[in-house]
Amino acid sequence: MKIGRKHYRTVWFATPVVFLIDQTLLPFEFKIVRAKSYRDTCAAIKNMTVRGAGAIGAAAGFAMAQAFLGAPQKNFWKFAQKARAEICDTRPTAQNLFFAVERVFAAAGCAAGESGAGKLNAGFAAAWAAVAEAQKIADEDAENCKKIGEIGSKLIVQGMQIETHCNAGWLAFVDYGSALSPIYLAHRGGKKIFVYVDETRPRGQGARLTAWELKNERVPHAIIPDNAGASLMAQGKIDMVIVGADRIAANGDTANKIGTLEKAIAAHEYGIPFYVAAPTSTFDLKCKSGKDIPIEERSPDEVLYQSGVTRKGKLEEILVCSPGSSALNPAFDVTPAKYITGIITEKGLLKPTTENIRKLFL
C-alpha cells in the first residue's frame, strides 16, 4: 500500500512495538499508532484501530509475541497463557486471530522444549521464536493476498461493474487485501472497470476505507447506500460481487460483515456471480457449518452515533437516531455456501463444498 510515495503495511512489528495505521480516523486523518505492550495491541484490535481478517490476525500474532517478550521469568507460561486468552477474547468472529495466536504460541512452546536449557534461556528461546513466527504470519498474509489478486483478476473482464461490501483491501490485511486485490491487479493490468462501494453501516468501512483505497489507486468508483445493491442489479448495472470473509466453515458457509447475506441473496436472484476472496487462514474446519460461527455483538452506540468531519474540518460524533431508542448491532452475518459462486484463495478458485475445502488442507 502506498500513501503518497511511501509504502506501508497495515500493521508491522519493530520489537517490541507494534505499529498500526489507525483506521478509526481514516479517511480524514492518517496516523500511526504505537502499541508498546500486548495489552495495547489488544485494545487496538478491540476498538477497531486495526480491523479486517488478515490485519487482525497479524496484530494478534504480534500481540502474542509481545506477551512472550514481556513475560516474567517466574510464572512465564502462566503469564503467556493468560495473555493468549486475553488476545483471543478481543474479537470472537475473526478466524485469522485464533489461527495466528495458536501458531505463535505453538512455535514458542516448541522452541522452549528444544532449547534444552534452564528456565531463563528457555524463555528467551520461546520469546524470539514467537517473534519470528508472528513476522512469518504477517509476511504470508501479504504474499497470499497477492496470489489471490493474481487468481481473482482473471475473473474480471473489460468493462465489468463490480459491487463490494465492507472493506477487504489493503487495510483489512497486511497488504494487497482479499476482495480488492483482484480489482487492483485487473486495474493495473489495463482493464477498465467500475466499482460500486457499499457504504457498510453502521461503521461505514466501505464509504470510508474502501473508497479511500480505490481513490488512492485511481480506480473509478461510486459509494452507494447499502440498500441500493439489489436495485442496481435489477437494472443490469452489476456484473459481479466480490466480498471478503472473517470465517469460513468446513461446508463453505461464510461469515462476513453484516449485510453481506442480503447481497448474496440478491445476486443469486439476478444470476450475478458472487465471489468470496479469502486466504486459507480464514477457514475454520472445526466449524462444520455457519451455525457454529460465533457472531460478535458490538456496542449499540455504533448504530446510534456517527462520526464525521464538519464543513469546518472538525471531527465530531453526533447522535443520528431517535433519542432514547435502543439499537441492535450484530457485526457479521453468515452467507450459506449455496449462494457463493466460488471462493478465491491463494491456492486457487474453488466451489464451496465440504470436499473441496478439505482438499485445500491435504
- From first to last of the 362 residues of the chain, give the pLDDT tens digit: 878 888 999 999 999 999 999 999 999 999 999 999 999 999 999 999 999 999 999 999 999 999 999 999 889 999 999 999 999 999 999 999 999 999 999 999 998 876 555 555 778 899 999 999 999 999 999 999 999 999 999 999 999 999 999 999 999 999 999 999 999 999 999 999 999 999 999 999 999 999 999 999 999 999 999 999 999 999 999 999 999 999 999 999 999 999 999 999 999 999 999 999 999 999 999 999 999 999 999 999 999 999 999 988 888 999 999 999 999 999 999 999 999 999 999 999 999 999 999 999 98
Q: Which one of 148, 183, 203 terminates a domain?
A: 148
**What pLDDT, on a 0 to 100 scale, did the predictor assign at position 116?**
52
Domain match, 108 and 192 both: no
The yes-or-no answer on residue 239 being catalytic is no
Domain that holds residue 33: 2-148
Q: Which one of 148, 183, 212 terminates a domain?
A: 148
Helix (H) / strand (E) element for 255: namely strand 254-257
Q: In sequence order, what are the residues at sequence separation of 6 or more whose Cβ sits closer than 8 angstroms to the Cβ of residue 207?
A: 197, 199, 200, 223
**What pLDDT, on a 0 to 100 scale, did the predictor assign at position 102?**
97
- Are 253 and 336 in contact, with CB atoms under 8 Å apart? yes
- Are 191 and 158 in contact, with CB atoms under 8 Å apart? yes
Average pLDDT, the chain: 95
Point out the catalytic residue in the list 141, 175, 198, 246.
246
Domain match, 289 and 208 both: yes
Domain match, 218 and 346 both: yes
Comparing C-alpha atoms, which of 303, 295, 360 is closest to residue 330? Answer: 295
Domain match, 171 and 137 both: no
* 294-320 per-position pLDDT tens digit: 999 999 999 999 999 998 888 899 999
* 149-186 per-position pLDDT tens digit: 999 999 999 999 999 999 999 999 999 999 999 999 99
Comparing C-alpha atoms, which of 283, 298, 257 is closest to residue 352? Answer: 283
Per-residue H/E/C for 292-353:
HCCCCECCCHHHHEEEEECCCCCEEEEECCCCCCCCCCECEEEECHHHCCEEEECCEEECCC
Domain match, 182 and 271 both: yes
Domain match, 141 and 172 both: no
Domain match, 144 and 182 both: no
Domain match, 177 and 134 both: no
Domain match, 213 and 182 both: yes
Domain match, 287 and 239 both: yes
